[in-house]
């Protein structure tokens, strides 16, 4: 049994790196349905269940220090790719579709929780708030909300469970609908000419991206750590409440700094996505290391709740499609840019046309910007419904 903090951290890194390496080298079909980050969570959770490490003073101190310092650094790096100027160039219709998708997901959470909240525990609004951050942005937003709301690590198991099972089925459904795009567009009376033009322009820009370099990685890592320290220092001066804790302010400040720097030449420096993902995978492993399979007693109910959210989301999106004459590509990619993030939105976009992949990426980046704020707002509404 491990009791030393550094050994504990080293083991988590080995597990995370091993899963990612296996995903890239094996190309196994399992990873199409279960992303590496989900497998990392459950492998580490399994190790925790079997007691591979003890919650000693050294291990606990390492967990708290690494997680609290990496979280704002990861948020900053993730958002460096989200240039607001490029996002606005997507055009009114695609931006409208994205915001409608976000709104319908938020309403899905509120509707589901109104129906089922009596079946859950008093603090159940927190895992759903974290999930709403993921389904309106990405896993990074989910982790940010988990930190901001001080959600117990054990409860994150429910969030990851819904995020993997329900999400995987949703992706398969949207991919299965691709051949029916023409029939759907005829029904909704949609015009797709603008999408094709935007796709071509973004493809040309993507081709001019600079390769990774040692100096760029070093610079980004240094700045990420500096932003983390700055966010934590700045948050210590801001007023707090039951909802707006100091950690919430840290998350908000890191998010705002990331959005600001995404509009500077720093955004063109390659490596921010790679570094952010390494930090994200380690943070998820840290969260999983404090959880236990024995604590997931309400798993089936949470999974059903996830499908109810998706059902409400789909119904509202169909109504919007008819009202605003939206095409199936925009609807599907906007939905996955919210629910799946940058890992799956480009895959769906490529199923329509390779030229449309950058639209999926850019929409997913928009999710990273709005996911944390949207998730916190949904969380506040869910808290009010639960009467906490």
- What whole-number distance in Å separates Cα of residue 166 and Cα of residue 168? 6
Q: What is the pLDDT of residue 193?
A: 67
Q: What is the pLDDT of residue 242?
A: 63
Q: What is the pLDDT of residue 224?
A: 95
Q: Which residues of the chain are modeled with pLDDT < 50?
A: none
Q: What is the pLDDT of residue 158?
A: 77
- Dihedral sign for Cα 115, 119, 124, 130, please: negative
Task: List the end-to-end C-alpha distance of the chain, in Å, as a whole number.
Answer: 39
pLDDT, tens only, 64-90 = 899 889 988 988 888 887 777 777 777
Q: How many CB atoms lie within 10 A of CB 162?
A: 24
- What whole-number distance in Å separates Cα of residue 39 and Cα of residue 157? 12
* Site of tokens 């079909």: 29
Q: What is the pLDDT of residue 197?
A: 65
Q: What is the pLDDT of residue 208?
A: 54
Is there a contact between 38 and 163 (Cβ–Cβ < 8 Å)? yes
SS3 356: helix
Closest to 140 in 3D by CA, of 364, 372, 373: 372
Q: How many CA atoms lie within 13 A of 132 on its CB side?
A: 33
- What whole-number distance in Å separates Cα of residue 328 and Cα of residue 324? 12
Label residue 92 exposed, middle or buried (CB < 10 Å: 0-12, 13-18, 19+).
exposed
CA angle at 148 for the pair 73 and 155, rounded to the nearest 5° = 110
- Dihedral sign for Cα 20, 42, 351, 334, please: negative
Is there a contact between 180 and 328 (Cβ–Cβ < 8 Å)? yes
- What whole-number distance in Å separates Cα of residue 143 and Cα of residue 180? 36
Is there a contact between 98 and 366 (Cβ–Cβ < 8 Å)? yes
Please, which residues bridge with residue 2 across strands? 53
Look up residue 134 and give its two tokens.
Answer: 């993921």
Q: How many CB atoms lie within 10 A of CB 197?
A: 11
- What whole-number distance in Å separates Cα of residue 238 and Cα of residue 249? 7
Q: What is the pLDDT of residue 58?
A: 92
Closest to 155 in 3D by CA, of 188, 128, 186, 193: 128
């Amino acid at each position: 049994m491990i009791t030393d903090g550094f050994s504990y951290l080293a083991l988590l890194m080995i597990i995370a790196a091993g899963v990612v390496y296996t995903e890239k080298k094996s190309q196994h079909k399992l990873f199409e349905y279960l992303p590496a980050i989900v497998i990392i969570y459950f492998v580490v959770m399994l190790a925790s269940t079997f007691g591979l490490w003890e919650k000693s003073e050294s291990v606990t101190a390492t967990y708290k220090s690494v997680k609290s310092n990496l979280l704002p650094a990861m948020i900053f790096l993730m958002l460096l790719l989200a240039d607001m100027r490029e996002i606005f160039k997507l055009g009114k219709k695609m931006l409208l579709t994205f915001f409608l998708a976000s709104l319908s997901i938020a309403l899905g959470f509120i509707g589901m929780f109104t129906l089922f909240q009596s079946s859950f525990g008093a603090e159940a609004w927190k895992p759903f708030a974290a999930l709403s951050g993921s389904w309106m942005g990405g896993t990074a937003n989910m982790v940010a909300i988990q930190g901001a709301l001080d959600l117990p690590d054990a409860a994150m198991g429910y969030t990851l469970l819904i995020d993997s099972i329900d999400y995987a089925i949703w992706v398969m459904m949207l991919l299965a609908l691709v051949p029916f795009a023409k029939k759907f567009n005829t029904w909704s009376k949609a015009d797709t000419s603008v999408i094709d033009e935007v796709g071509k322009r973004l493809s040309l820009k993507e081709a001019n991206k600079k390769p990774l370099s040692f100096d760029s990685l070093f610079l980004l890592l240094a700045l990420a750590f500096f932003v983390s320290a700055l966010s934590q220092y700045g948050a210590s001066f801001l007023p707090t409440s039951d909802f707006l804790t100091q950690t919430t302010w840290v998350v908000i400040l890191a998010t705002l700094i990331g959005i600001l720097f995404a509009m500077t030449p720093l955004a063109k420096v390659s490596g921010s996505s790679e570094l952010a993902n390494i930090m994200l995978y380690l943070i998820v492993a840290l969260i999983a290391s404090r959880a236990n399979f024995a604590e997931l007693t309400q798993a089936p109910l949470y999974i059903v709740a996830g499908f109810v959210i998706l059902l409400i989301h789909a119904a509202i999106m169909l109504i919007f499609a008819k009202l605003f004459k939206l095409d199936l590509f925009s609807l599907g990619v906007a939905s996955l840019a919210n629910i799946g993030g940058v890992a799956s939105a480009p895959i769906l976009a490529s199923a329509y046309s390779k030229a449309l992949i950058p639209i999926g990426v850019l929409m997913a980046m928009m999710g990273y910007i709005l996911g944390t704020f949207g998730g916190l707002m949904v969380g506040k509404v869910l808290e009010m419904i639960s009467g906490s």
